[in-house]
Chain A
């Protein structure tokens, strides 16, 4: 039944799911802004980030959030490595070439994951997973609320850095006009590495938090990556506010559809609705017409 409570509960769940998508998509957006390429290996960085977090939190036994911070650094470095070896040589190629290369790398990294992780279900220990918070007659898993909080903090932090600091201005300049950016003395190559590092770190944070809610497995990154990719497209390719709104919308849409149709087909119907909108407005709901 569609009572007001149920719908608001689904919307809340959707918003919480959406925040994890935003965290993945934020990195893709930053990378796209400077690189004009979609990094299809991003989902593998997300998975490896979650695995690093598992190793430091569960195998070694560090505090979960300290483990997550270490995982973010490692995944960031992995992402920078991807930039240097795969995407930099592809600069100036047709867009789709980077998509294929990214997917190829994704499969390599996922399958490497099958070798390292094996078919076991790995977990990231987090106390909050068992807790539930209640407010206004709604309830939510505490770990999900923490996820949303970390996502929002990252988002606000990123926006502040972009608006207020030299580094942020330089990133915006490099994405708006790389050549003019070079002429004021910005090292655009370093900026590219920086966005890949940040993208990798954000993906690792998302992977670790989602991993602590469910589990860590080699194939965990593909769908979130595709969803994040679609969110970036819908956000107007490179716009952060667009990414945020699109991420929340997709999260809510998926949860409502899971309830209204069946969880099995939620993904399918979400993608179908997005494809329909996409065909009508290819530049995204928030993109500018060019």
Chain B
């Protein structure tokens, strides 16, 4: 393809090709602190290609695909090219990664232990991880937490943080414009801006740690907290994993161990500040 970039995030290497220069230029800028090897063998190929010959030039429209793709993936406007590249990488991980159990969760680390937060899109897990990453925690990822099948450790996958709608101003105010990507207005998920993780989070992206607390956050509700039973945790995590079935018995064993050893709580919160206070308190009280 005309434009391309090879990028390493956590344990995975992506070769991203694009029919247009803009998405690659934006990736190269925002991922400047990440390894961008010129000549590396990639785990996955991502392609941003025109939906048709005409759509390369006139009202350019991106079809996101690669080694793994979805035939019915919705086309995206070239102005959302950065988001398309991010989605392309996520797609490869979700459908093709086999070396760890993939949990759709954010994660942060403190004192050598990991806090894992899982929930639907809009639950606040990305925003919380981004904010904690600015307040003494190490940001490990906002989309996928990688559970090591042998050691039970959580490994980082610290790609750009994808912030949506109201979360954008909250986080941009805290980290400053220099670490923010362009505003991608009116995407399928609303307005989106990407945030570059802190330099130390990127520098330590090869280092995992053992999980110590699992939270099910839920933004937009009165502050509340409840215990979650192991059977429910297990079921929710299988639903939050894209490769649980593909991994077979090793995936079952790793997830069982995680559920049995990591304490869990569901938390509701009305604002980010209250959530952070709840998280810090639970972290101190964890058993």
User: Is chain B found bound to chain A in the same assembly?
Assistant: no
